[in-house]
Structure 1
C-alpha cells in the first residue's frame, strides 16, 4: 500500500572529477581533493554520487566504477524529456539552482540536486506518466539500479513489486486517427507588408528594432507568390548576415502563407542543431505548447525515431540485464517525449554514453525493417503520428536529406511540399550530392541481402522479405513463386563474412560457383591496388582509383554480376506488380489493414530493392562501355574504392555521383514546388566578385544552389550583418608554428586557450591530429581549471558536447568539421576559435572532376571558394549577438590572404608570432 512520500538520500560520498584528481565530499560533509588512485581506494565497495560515470572515470584515469549513483540517471527518471547538459553546472542550470564556482562547490551541490529531483518526483507522483513509475523503478532495482530505493521512497511505495509490464509503454501512448484528406491548397500571395506585420507580432512591442530583419521578411515574401507556369517556382535567394534574425524573418511570411492557403510550409536545414533551434524559435509564434504541437511538426527519417516494435523485442520476457536500467529510462522518456525523436530531439543523448551504444542502438529502425500496418504498435507509432500531424500543420521543420530523399523516391509518405524554405542553403550542393548518388559496394549489397533474406544465423532479429509478406502471400502460387525466385537470386549478393574474403580470388573449382558480387568486389580491389601509389599507403589506408582504363578482369566480373542482379530484379518486379494488382482486383474485399500493408510492401520493394538494383545495373553497364574522351564533361563521375581499417579490408566497390548534383535537385525538388526560399549567411563568395562584373558572385551562388537550372528569374536579396566586426573581432594568423609539428601545434592551442581563460573551440581537419593534441594539452588545461572536451574522444554525441560547451563558460572543445556549421553558442562560452590549418577540400577523384569542369577558366579558384566558405562559416560561430567578442586564430602560416578576404567586412587581420597572438588574445578578450 502506498504511503506518504519521503526523501531518502543514499549514504555515499559525492564525487566531482578533475583531470587525474577529484573532489570528494563525505556523507559527514568533509571535502577533500585527492589524486585518482587514492579516490579509487576510498570508493572501493561504495557507489558514489556523481555526474556522468564514464566521463568521471576517464578524467580520474580509472577503468570505471563497479556502481555509482549517477545524477543523470535520476534526472532522466524524474524529469524525462527535459534538456540538461551532463555536468554538475548543466544540472544546476536545468534545475534553476545556484551555479557552482569550482569543483568543491560542485561536489557540495550534488546532494542538493538529488534532493531537488526526488522532491519533484514526490510532488508529481499522481501525474499520469508516473502511474507505473514505482513498478518500473522496482524492475530497474532488480537489475541493480542504485537509485531504486530513493525513487520508491519519493513515490511513497518503498515496498513496490516489480511490474511485469513496466516496459510496455505503448499501452499508455495515444493512438493516431486518420482524418479526411486535406483540401487543395489555395494560392494567395503574401504581401511584403503582411510579412512585416506578422514579424512585428512575433517579436512583440518591446523587441529590439532590427531594420534588416524586417527588410529580409519582405524579401522572403517573394517566395510565396503564386506560380505562373509548371516547373517554374517563385524563387528567392536571400543572404542574411549573422545577427539579421533570418529564422523569424522567414517564419513570418511562411506562417502567413500557411494560414491563408491551408497547407504547410516546409523549412529544411542541413544540421540537426539548426532544426532544433528553429523549433525553439517557433515558440515565439505559438507560445501555447499544445497549439505549437499542432501547428509545428519536426520531420526526420524513420531511423531517427524510437521504434516501439524494437523496444517490444528488446523487453519481451524481460530486458537483458545489461540494458534493463537504460531501457527503463527510455520507457520513462517515451511517455513524456514530444515526438519520439532519439537524435537531436528531447531524448537525452548521454543515455547511450552511460550504458554503451549496445543498450539503445537497436531502438531505432536504422535498417529499413518497418512493417508498417503489420506492426502491433502501428497506431501508436511516433513516425506515423508525425506524418499525419505534418499534413495538417502550418510549419514542418525537416532536413535537406529527408526532403531530397523523399523527392528522389517520388514524393515519399508526406507528399511533395508546395512551399520550401532551405536554410543553410550553402549546403544544398553537398546534400544533393549525397541524396542523388549511388554506391555499388559490398556493404550496400550485403544490406540488400539481409533485407531480403533476414537473419542467416547468429542472434540478429532481422526480418526477411518472406516473414514481412507471409500474411499477404499466404498459399497463393502466383505470389509464392516470384518470392521464392527472388530469395534464391539474393544469394548472389555478398554472404556473411564477405569483407574478410575480399583478398581471395573467386572460386575456380568446377564444382564451386563463385559468388557474383564477391567476385566483382575482388576485381575492384585488385584494380584499386594496382592503380594506387604505394608510397601513399596503398594497402594500409582507404584508396580509390579511376574506373577507366579497366583491368582485364573487371568487365567480365561486372557482366556476371549484372546478370545475377537482373535475375534478382525480375521476380521482385513481378512480385511488386502482383501485389499492386490485388489493390485493384480485390478492392471490394480487402480489409483496410491489408490494403495499407499491400501499399507499404509495394513502396518498400520499389525503394529498398528495385531502385538500387536499377542504378547498379546502369553502373555495371558503364564498366563494359567505351570510356569518354579525356577532358570531356561527363554527366556522372564513376570511380572505384577500397576501404581499410587497421590494415584489414572493410569494404570495396564502385561509386557514381552526378558531376553537378544541383541538376537532379532542381528537377526533382525545386521544379515541382510552387515557391522556394534559399537562404544562408554565406550564399555568396564576395571575394570572388570581379570589379568589372559585380554579378559574378550571385551567378556562382545560383549555380551552387541549382537556381541556374530553373526557367525562372531569381529574386536576389542581401542583408548585411548588423554586427560591428571591426570592433568585436580579431583575426590572427600565427607565423612561427609549424603545422606539421604536433608538439608545436599542441603548445599553441594550450597557450591560446589559457590566454582566453577557456571558451575556446579548436577545429581540426583530421581526427588523428585532434587526438594527438588532446593527449598533450588536456592535463595542463584541467590543472589550470579549464575542462577540455573533444569530439571522437569524450563519450558524448556532438549535440551533447555542444550543450556542455554552452553551459560551461570556461571549458574548451576540440572538434572537426561537424562543429563548424550549425552550432549556436552565444556569449562568453565561445570567445576564441582556433583552426589547426586551412580547411582545403580533400583531393579526391570526384573533387578533381568538379574542379576541372565546374570551375570555369581557373580551377584553382574552385579550391579557394570551398576553403573560403568553410572559414567564413566557422567565423560565424564567434559572434552570435551584438555584445559578443571573439578572436579567430589560424595556425597555418601558409594561409593565403585571398582566403581571409571572405571574412566579414571590417575584420582586422594580422600576421604575427605565437607570443604576440597569445598576448593580443588575452588583452582583447579582457577589455570590457
Structure 2
C-alpha cells in the first residue's frame, strides 16, 4: 500500500510496480472531484486526519486512510453518484484485476454484481443545458466607496480582523464601477495593493455589489490558473452555499481546458486494459465535477501521472477539433454549459489569455464584458503580447491543413472541413463547390512528415519551400551556436530566396483564402436572410460553422497575407519606430531543426489591448502588488510607466491612481542576501543551492532563468537532499502540472521545489512550507530581437533602464512569495555576485541586502529560521 506508485518507484529507483494498492486510485474513485496533494501528508490533510510527523508515521497512517475512504464510500452508497459504482468496480476487476475492486464492492454492499461498461458512458447521465432569453441591458448604477466598505465588512463577518488598508483598497476599487460618460472612455483605476492587503476580497466587494444592482456579470481576469483557483476559494466567503456559488460564480477558460465528451466516448470504444482505470476514474469525476475543468479546477492534476502518456491528456480538445453543434454531446458539453452560465452569473473568473483572445477574434463565444477587474495587472503587457501576435510557422500551417483536410493517411479524429460541415452541406448543397475549392487549395500547406523534410531541406510544396528559405536565412545570418538552442534573425535585409518563396506562398494562400472567405460570407448571408425559414437547429449549425471558419481559417490567413505582403524589399531606415516587429526563427529539438517561422508582434501590445478590450468596456480595475517600479525616485515617472505597461496611457480618460502599502514588517520578517563566492557554472550554483536548502531544513524554492540549468541542478542536488531526508521536486522534471507541484510543496513543509518563471509569481504558499527562496542568477530579460526593439523604442531614451526595470520587477515578484501571513519568516538569496545594487533597490522598504560568502549565508539563514525549524 502506497501513495502515487509511479513517483514512489522513481524515488526508490525501481521499475514500475506490477500491482499495488495505490491510495490515490482509491481516493479518486471514492472522492471524485475532490483535490488533495498526492502525498501521504496531503491525503491526510484532505481527509481531515492528524498530519503524520515523519515518513514512519505516514506509513502507519496509510491503512487508516484506506479504511476511512471505504467507510465514506459505504455511507454514500445510495447517493446518485454511486448508483453504478459497484458495477464499475466489477468491470475494473474483470478487465484489469484492480486491487481495490473487491474492497470497493464490499463497501457498497454489492460483492456479487455483474460487470458492465455502461458506467463509463457518463454522457448519458449528464444534464442538458437549456437556452434562456437574451440578457437584458446592464444598468449603470454606481457603487460608492462607503457601500464598498460596507459590503466588505459583510463578507468578512463581525469577528474578522480589522484591516484598514483592505477597506481603503475597496474604496479605491469602487471608482472603477462609476458610470461611463462617453463611448470609448472607460473609467480606469490603477490600484497597487501591497502583499497582505487582502486585495481579492477588496475588489470582490464592489464588483459583486455592482453585478447585483445592474444585472450583468463582472469579469475578474487573472494571468495564472493558480490565482483563478485562489479567487474561487475566496468567493466562498461571499457565497458560502456551494450551490449558490455555482450559480453566481463561473470559472471560464479556453476549450482546451475542459473534458471533451466526444473524446471520452471514443476513448471508451475498444478500450485497452492499460487505460481502463484511467477512463473509469475520469468518468467518476465527470459525474461529480462542478464544471468539467481538467486544468486547475476540481480535477486532480496528479491523476494523469498514474497512467500511460496521453491516457488522460487526450481527453481534452487540445487540437481545436471541436465540431460544436455537430457533436452528439453538444447539449451536455461542459464548455457550452459554462458559456451559458457565465451570461447569468454575477462574477466570471477568467484569465487574461481568454479575455484577450476573444477580443482578438471579435468578441468570442462569451461576448464583450462591460466591467473588468484585471488582477495580476503587471502581466497585461505579456498577455497582450501573446494574444495579439501572429506566426507563419510549419506547425501553424500544418494544423490549418489538418483542420481543412482531416487526418491524412492515418488514424486520428481530425474530421476535416467537409466532414465538419456534413449536416450543413446536406441541407445546403450549393455551398459544396466553395468547400471543394478550399480543400483543393489547402494542398499548398505543409504535408504530413514536413518536419523531416525541413531538417533535410527537401521541400514538397510551396509552404515547405517557404519554411526552407526561412531556415536558410536564419542559419546564414546567425553565428554558429549550440545546436540544442533555437536561433533567430532580423527579417531585413531579406534573402533573395526568402523573398521569392514568400511571394509564391502569398499567392497560394490568397487562392486558399478566397473560397473560404466566400464560404464564411455566404453562411452569414443565409443567417441574415429574413425570408429564409430556418429551424433553430439549422440556424445554430450555420452560425457555428461560420464562426469556426472565421476563427480557424479566415482570420489566420488574413494575418499571414498581411505579414507576407509587408516584407520589405529594402531595409528600413535605422532608428525608424515600427508598429510591428517582424523576425525569422528556427526551433530545434534534440539537435534537429523542428520548425521555422516568420513572427509578427506589436511593438507595443497594450495598444490593441486598449482598443479591443479596454475601450469597449465601461470600467476597468487594474491591480497588482507590483504595478510600479518602486526603485524609481520620481513618483510621476513610476506611475506613467505603469500606465504605459497596462495600456491605460492609450485611453482618453486619465487613470485614477491608488496605492495601498503592504501590511507586513519586511525588515523584521525577512532577510536578503547576495552570495559572493559562487561561480556561474551549473555545478557551483547547484552545490550552493543544495547547501542553502539543507541549512534551511527544506521549505525552499529555487528559481532558474533557463530550463536546462534547472534540469542539470536537479540531477546534481537530488541525491544529497534525499540523503538528508528532504524531498526535491522540479518543474520540467516531475510529471506533475504546476498546480500539483505547488500543492505538494504547500503540503509537505520540508520539501523543496525548483521552477522557472511560472512559479515566480501567482503562487500562494503561506507558512513554513516556503521559508527560503533562491535565484540561481539575476533574471535579466532574454536578449531577443523583439526585446531589442522594445528596449530601443519604448524605454523613453533609457535602454538600460528598460532591462533594469524588468529584472527588478521579477526579483520583487519572487520576494513577495516569502511572506503571505503576519507570522511568516523568509530568506531571499541571489547566487550572483555580479548583481548590481540598483536592482535590489526594488525590494520592499526596510529590507537590507547583505553580500556574504556561502558559508556565512548558510549560517545566517539557519540562525534566522531556527524558530521555524524548531516548530515555533
- Give TM-score scaled by structure 1 length: 0.92
1:581 CA drift (Å): 2.3
What corresponds to 1:69 in structure 2? 21
Q: Does 1:720 align with 2:673?
A: no
Q: Which residue of 2 aligns with 1:524?
A: 470
2:159 aligned with 1:206, yes or no? yes
Alignment of 1:802-881 (within 5 A): 802-881=742-821
Q: What's the CA shift string for 1:679-714, capped at 9, x where partnerless? A: 000000021233xxx311000000000000001011
The Cα of 1:504 is off from its aligned counterpart by 4.4
Structure 2 gap ranges (5+)? none
How far apart in 1 are the matches of 2:403 and 2:566?
A: 26
Deviation at 1:582, TM superposition (A): 2.2
Contact 1:729 1:908 in 2 (8 A): no
Q: Do structure 1's residue 109 and structure 2's residue 75 form an aligned pair?
A: no
Helix, strand or coil: the match of 2:577? coil
Mapping for residues 725-764 of structure 1, pairs under 5 Å: 725-740=666-681, 742-764=682-704
The reply on whether 1:162 has 2:115 as its aligned counterpart is: yes
| Structure 1 residue 313 displacement after superposition | 1.2
Tell me the secondary structure at the aligned position of residue 688 of structure 1: coil
Task: Tell me what 1:13 maps to.
Answer: none
CA contact (8 A) 1:502 1:649 kept: yes
The question of 1:385 aligning with 2:325 is answered no
Deviations along 1:331-382, one digit per CA (max 9) or x if unpaired, are 0000000000000000011111110331012211112221112211111111
Q: Distance in 2 between matches of 1:795 and 1:304?
A: 18
- Do 2:187 and 2:653's aligned partners in 1 also have CA atoms closer than 8 Å? yes
Structure 1 distance, partners of 2:714, 2:428, is 63
Q: How far is the alpha carbon of 1:573 from its aligned partner?
A: 1.1
Matched, 1:275 2:215: no
Q: Secondary structure at the match of 2:118?
A: coil
Q: 1:347 aligns with which of 299, 307, 326?
A: 299
Residue of structure 1 in register with 2:401 after alignment: 449
Instruction: Give the match's secondary structure for 1:284.
Output: coil
Q: What's the secondary structure of 2:828's corresponding residue? A: strand
- Distance (Å, rounded) in 1 between the aligned partners of 2:828 and 2:528: 64
Alpha-carbon shift at residue 807 of structure 1 (Å): 0.4
Question: 1:218 maps to what in 2?
Answer: 171
Query: Equivalent residue for 1:172?
Result: 125
Q: State whether residues 243 and 721 of structure 1, in contact with CA within 8 Å, keep that contact through their aligned partners in structure 2.
A: yes
Q: Report the equivalent of 2:601.
A: 657
Tell me the number of residue pairs that the alignment of Structure 1 and Structure 2 aligns. 867
Tell me the alpha carbon deviations over residues 486-541 of structure 1, each in whole angstroms, 9 at most, x when there is no partner.
Answer: 0010010000010110144566xxxxxx511000000000000000101x33x542
1:224-243 alignment runs, 5 A limit: 224-243=177-196
CA distance in 2, matches of 1:296, 1:53: 36
> What root-mean-square deviation, in Å, do the aligned CA atoms of Structure 1 and Structure 2 show?
1.2
Pick one of 574, 597, 602 that aligns with 2:546. 602
Q: Does 1:893 align with 2:837?
A: no
Q: 1:543·1:642 contact (CA, 8 Å) conserved in 2? A: yes
What is aligned with 2:519?
575
C-alpha separation in 2, matches of 1:593 and 1:540: 52
Q: Secondary structure at the match of 1:359?
A: coil
Q: Which residues in structure 2 correspond to 1:309-320 (within 5 Å)?
A: 309-316=262-269, 318-320=270-272
- 1:567 is displaced (CA, Å) by 0.7
The 2-side partners of 1:802 and 1:584 are apart by 50
CA distance in 1, matches of 2:184, 2:669: 45
Cα shift at 1:173: 1.2
From 33, 56, 66, give the equivalent of 1:81: 33
Once the 2 structures are TM-superposed, how far is the Cα of residue 416 of structure 1 from its aligned partner? 0.4
- Which string of whole-angstrom CA distances, capped at 9 and with x for unpartnered residues, describes residues 733-767 of structure 1? 00111122x23212211211111111111111112
* Residue in structure 1 matching 2:80, options 128, 133, 149: 128
Secondary structure class of the residue paired with 2:236: helix
Cα distance change, pair 594–896 in 1 and its aligned pair in 2 (3 A): same
Instruction: Give the deviation of 1:809 after TM superposition.
Output: 0.7
Partner of 1:557: 501
Q: How does 1:556-705 map to 2 (within 5 A)?
A: 556-585=500-529, 588-690=532-634, 694-705=635-646
**Residue 443 of structure 2: which of 482, 485, 491 is its match?**
491
Find the partner of 2:739 among 799, 822, 829. Answer: 799
Residue 476 of structure 1: how far off its partner (Å)? 4.9
Supply the distance in 2 between the matched residues of 1:916 and 1:370 (Cα, whole angstroms): 58
- Segments of 5+ residues of structure 1 without an aligned counterpart are 1-48, 508-513
Tell me the distance in 2 between the aligned counterparts of 1:841 and 1:825. Answer: 26
CA contact (8 A) 1:143 1:325 kept: no
With over 3 angstroms needed to count, the CA separation of the structure-2 counterparts of 1:477 and 1:388, relative to structure 1, is: closer
How far the C-alpha of 1:797 sits from its partner, in A, is 1.0
Give yes or no for contact 1:752–1:918 (8 Å, CA) kept in 2.
yes
**Counterpart-to-counterpart distance in 1, 2:440 and 2:624:** 50
For residues 577 and 440 of structure 1, the distance between their equivalents in structure 2, rounded to whole angstroms, comes to: 24
Matches for 1:766-785 after TM superposition, within 5 Å: 766-785=706-725
Q: Aligned partners of 1:558 and 1:401: how far apart in 2?
A: 30
Any idea what the Cα deviations from partners look like across 1:849-895, whole Å, max 9, x if unmatched?
00010111110000000000100000000000111000000011101
In structure 2, what is the Cα distance between the partners aligned to 1:589 and 1:226?
41
SS of the aligned residue for 1:623 comes to coil
Q: Which residue number corresponds to residue 297 of structure 1?
A: 250
Contact 2:394 2:446 in 1 (8 A): yes
8 Å Cα contact 2:275/2:308 also seen in 1 = no
In structure 1, the partner of 2:374 is 422
Deviations 1:399-422 (A, max 9, x none): 000000011111111110000000
Q: How far off its partner does 1:67 sit?
A: 1.7
Check the 8 A contact 1:167/1:315 in 2, yes or no: yes
1:623 deviates by 2.0
Name 1:257's counterpart in structure 2. 210
Q: Structure 2 vs 1, CA of residues 721 and 630 (structure 1 numbering), >3 Å: closer, same or farther?
A: same
- After superposition, give the CA deviation of every residue in 1:576-617 in whole Å (9 maximum; x if it has no partner): 122222223476532211111100110001111000000000
